[in-house]
Every structure is written in structure tokens, then in C-alpha cells.
Structure 1
């Protein structure tokens, strides 16, 4: 999605045109995402999709086995149903956030490996700090809103463990609850991440702006439908709450 262009309501052919120009490897993902959106009363939703990916050292295996690239593909499959140009701003983080880059329908294959290598590959993977990455996304989106964007955004935030900056991360999620941003936390790893479960239920927010789905130790084995349901199942209640509280028109 071109986040700096003011959006208008989709026309009657928007749904029919959703797969126009979608590369064949992504068509199945896009169709599966469409079913999940419809199941959760989101068939008419217009939204940006962000992808935030953990680049801490413990994630090295997930870069090597294609799990992170598959998540990027899944993000695009979701995005083509929600916006008008099928682009997803992607941010890597470890001890710090890296520059936001866009993945798109004509630039997605191998993009995770390219960006990972660009930042030094496995030899530079660091720790796990959420807060600065979350702030970068919130500030990026707030800037887009100031420039005229009217659509909400879904942030797919992937990690395999709790952060070293827990209190700061909680504060950032509470801060972000004042914006039309929904945070779909996605856990990788053999066991669920209690901290992410806690963020899902965090008190002190303007609205409940988060969900948590655990993709397990082998995320590429998780059915795409399950992931999309995990992302979308709590979005509709959030939209209602955000509208009721004046966060979203």
C-alpha cells in the first residue's frame, strides 16, 4: 500500500480484482487469507500490513530454513486482500531496529535472505529488544496519518522470545493503542512465549490492540489458514472498539 496516498473506499470490483497481478506462488496464500478475512467479518476491510521480524541470534535457524521468508510471503498474501498495491513495509530488529524496506508482488522472492545478508547475516545477529522497533512502526504510521492516510494498519510482529526491554515494550504497546494499529504477535519456537501472552492481555491501553498466535517450532508446517485465523480473529472487535473510542473513523 502506498501509505502516503489518501485512500478511498474500494469499488464494487475490488474483490474480484484482488488477485490480478499476484504471482502464482502467492495465489494460494491470497485465497486462504481471503477466506480467513471473510470468516472474521473483515471482507470489506481496507488496511495496510506491516511485517516486523526478529533478527536475534536465536532466530538463525528460522532464517536458514525459510520460515521467515514464508512469513513474508504470508504477509503479502494477506496484504493483496487489504490494500491496492500489495506492498508490505518490513522491519528487522534485534538490539535495534533496522531501516524499513518494502516487499512487494514484484520484489519478494529471496528478499529476506537479501536483507539479512545486507545487515551482516548470522555474524551480526544480536539480542531481543522490542520497544525501539515498535516505536519505529508507530512513528512511521503516525507520519503516514499526518500525510493523509485514513486506513488502519495490521502489524505482524514475529519473535521467538521475550525481550530484554519488557517494561519499555509494554509502554510502547500502550502508546500504540492510541493509534489505528493492531498488533498481531506471532511466536516461533517449541513453546509459547508467556510475555507475548501477557501483551495480549496487557492492562492500561486505550483499547485491546493486540493478539497472539504461536506458530511453533516448525512454522512452515503450520497451515496457512491457521496463521491467518490467528492474525484476523481479534481484529473485528478491535475495529469496533477503536471506532467507539474515536481512534478510527
Structure 2
């Protein structure tokens, strides 16, 4: 008698993603998926204790179901940014330690500056790798988003300028930091369509997979519908 196939912890994550997608009536392969990770000084503990590695694995499980090619694109940023190697099911083990913490060429644990990395996200998806497949970009931050004058580049300006593009920004605030800038995103005026959402998770280390995936996929279906109605995506 053949023994039943034992599912890995990563296989179980993918099954949880499937359940969340079904609840939201979202098809598999609907989007390219990327993640921007805050690596400012206040994030040091979460990188060193394995929390960020755990988050990456949970997001990769989403990408394998959600992304058209099963790849999770990765950026990290503090006051500078680095476009990191993308992650697949074949190379996610110890990714954070291997590619970031043990890599002396990667800038980390400084202050934070969001617009430059957001501009690079737009460059990658809208200029370098154009596609009819929309982008779902997860942006993880632990507070203290840089405020800028009207003359300086800022998060709001990037969102307004990209609101007619096939890219949705899902901001996730972790911890108890100051998220005043991100909390105002839903009321940001001047956009072609609402292209961003924000939610906060105080303790992401103990957030269940079920709750995380449901929150991540809460507003994206609404954007898909509006983007199609206004011909932002096909």
C-alpha cells in the first residue's frame, strides 16, 4: 500500500493561499507579485530573529499561486535601496541570512526613505519588464515613513502618478510605529483610481496565516474590478 504523500510546511501554506483565493473569487496566475521590505535600524531584531524570513516564506506561498510565474520579486530599503534576487520555491531556505544579513555589499539598518525604492519598482514593472499582467506589490514598513515637502518626492506623489498604471500597492505596517502617512492613503485625492491599501499588524510574528492572507487580499479584488472598468488592465 502506497504511503500518503507528506506535505511540507510550505505546501500547507500554499493550500491556505488557495482557500483565501477561493473566498475572494480570485483566479490563480492573476498577477505578478513583488515585496518591498523595510530594513531600517528599527527592523534589525525582526531580521535577526527569523521573523522576516518567515514573512518572506508566507509571501512566497502567495506568489506561487498568485504570480504568473511563481516568482516573488524582492527589494529592501533604508535610506538607500537594493533590488534583490527574486525568490522561488527552489531557493527560499535561509534567503534572508544568505542574501541580506551575510552580504556585506547590501546597505542595511540605516534611516528610511521610501520614494526611491518605489520609483525603482515602477521602473522594473512599467519600463524594463512590461506585461499585460498587473502587479501586486506588498510594501512592509514598521513606521516612520519619511515626510517630505511638496517640492520633494514623496509616497503620495508616487501613488498619484502611478494611479493609472497596472500596479496595486498593498502597504503593511508592522508593530506600533507611526503610520500616519500610510493611514491617509485611502483618502488620497488626485488619483485616477484607488491604487493602494494599508493595514497594520501589531504582532506579525503571531499573526495567523489565515488572517494574514485574508488581509492581504481584502482590497485587491476591488482594485482589479475598477482597473478593468477603467481599462487600466485588460
TM-score, with normalisation over the residues of structure 2?
0.88
Could you tell me how far 1:44 is from its partner in structure 2?
4.6
Structure 2: gaps of 5 or more residues: 1-6
Distance 2:99 2:67 in 1: 24
Could you tell me how far 1:57 is from its partner in structure 2?
0.2
- Do the aligned residues in 2 keep the contact of 1:95 with 1:126 (CA within 8 Å)? yes
Question: Deviations for 1:181-222, whole angstroms, at most 9, x for unmatched residues?
Answer: 111111111356222111233221111111112121x31200
Superposed, 1:96-175 pairs within 5 Å as 96-120=80-104, 124-144=108-128, 146=130, 149-166=131-148, 168-175=154-161
Q: Which residue of 1 aligns with 2:194?
A: 208
Distance 2:159 2:107 in 1: 30
Could you tell me how far 1:101 is from its partner in structure 2?
1.7
Distance 1:60 1:97 in 2: 16
Q: 1:44 to 1:104 in 2, by over 3 A?
A: closer
Q: Which residue of 1 aligns with 2:72?
A: 88
Asked whether 1:25 is paired with 2:9, we answer yes
TM-score, with normalisation over the residues of structure 1?
0.83
- Do the aligned residues in 2 keep the contact of 1:90 with 1:101 (CA within 8 Å)? yes
- Let me know the Cα RMSD of the aligned residues: 2.1
Q: Which aligned segments of 4 or more residues in structure 1 are displaced greater than 6 angstroms?
A: none
Asked whether 1:197 is paired with 2:183, we answer yes
Distance 1:119 1:165 in 2: 30
Q: 1:26 to 1:234 in 2, by over 3 A?
A: same
State the aligned residue count: 224
Structure 1: gaps of 5 or more residues: 1-22
